[in-house]
Amino acid sequence: MSTLISIVMLTWNGLNYTKECVDSILRHADKRIQIQFVFVDNGSTDGTVEYLRSVPSSKLICNQVNRGFAAGNNQGLAVADGEYICLLNNDTVVTKGWLTRLLSCLEQNPAIAIVGPRSNNVAWAQLVYNVPYKSMSEMEAFAANWSQLNRDQGFFPHKLIGHCMLFHKDLITKIGGLDERFFPGNYEDDDFCLRARVSGQILWVANDVYVHHYGGSTFKSNQTNYSASAFANAERFSRKWSLGMTGLELDQFGYNPSELVEREKPFRIERHYVPIGGKVHEDCTDKS
């Protein structure tokens, strides 16, 4: 019997990125895994919604305005049917065996709350420096070789980047969804990972999984100020977790997630659980 995994993907214009991402998922599908797409569109005007309606095995939610990364993903989480859920940015390109190997990590070790891949355009330990490829065909060859060289390897990171995260649906029951105070994006993935660790589980990087990430495409496609968003949410993050740092200091110097986790334990519902909001969207599936 195949495992159902819901891939929750947020879109806000950037149609070409979305098409390339979805195509890569379908191209590298594993017959042992049933995929459900859950698309949440934040007000695209470039034909994205029309394209998403054509994708098989999918649910589609439309917002008239940009509700941000956290709120949009929470909408997707609320309607996802999968036993496992993957939050995946629409500006990623997945590679052969990616989902099978990520899933294997969770199945083999119940202590793992969230697993993520290695990538070219991320921060912290998941980054593969100075990737040599210049095209997507070269990227596929690089990823295959990378996976072979690092087969069945992985490691514990302090946090994971939210461009690609796989977890069991029970994690949402346990810690809640993404914190919507971090609008429009940045630091909601830090916050989610911290709460998962405070709950008593660990994070994991599947070293044999490589996913290409263009990075920042939504900000670029919609001419949004990435730096302003990062600084504002750094300030919010510092206040929430009592770090005693300005947003600028946090963004420049960072923080120690492991120290913060130990300080925050044990998990307390009133402090660490983030409920997913009520129904604030409309279904934009074509009814015709």
Any domain includes 26: yes
pLDDT score recorded for residue 124: 81
Any domain includes 204: yes
Any domain includes 285: no
Any domain includes 288: no
Number of domains the chain contains: 1
Any domain includes 37: yes
Any domain includes 61: yes
> At 65, phi and psi to the nearest 5?
-130, 165
pLDDT score recorded for residue 286: 43
Tell me: pLDDT of 221 over 60: no
Any domain includes 108: yes
pLDDT score recorded for residue 256: 96
Of the candidates 118, 125, 76, the one whose C-alpha atom is nearest the C-alpha of residue 98 is 118
Domain residues for 193?
A: 3-275
In angstroms, the CA 231 to CA 223 distance is 17
38-64 pLDDT tens trace = 999 999 999 999 999 999 999 999 999
β-bridge partners, 118: 210
CATH number for the domain that contains residue 91 = 3.90.550.10
Question: In this structure, are residues 113 and 200 in contact, taking their beta carbons and an 8 Å threshold?
Answer: no
Any domain includes 68: yes
**Three-state secondary structure call for residue 154:** strand
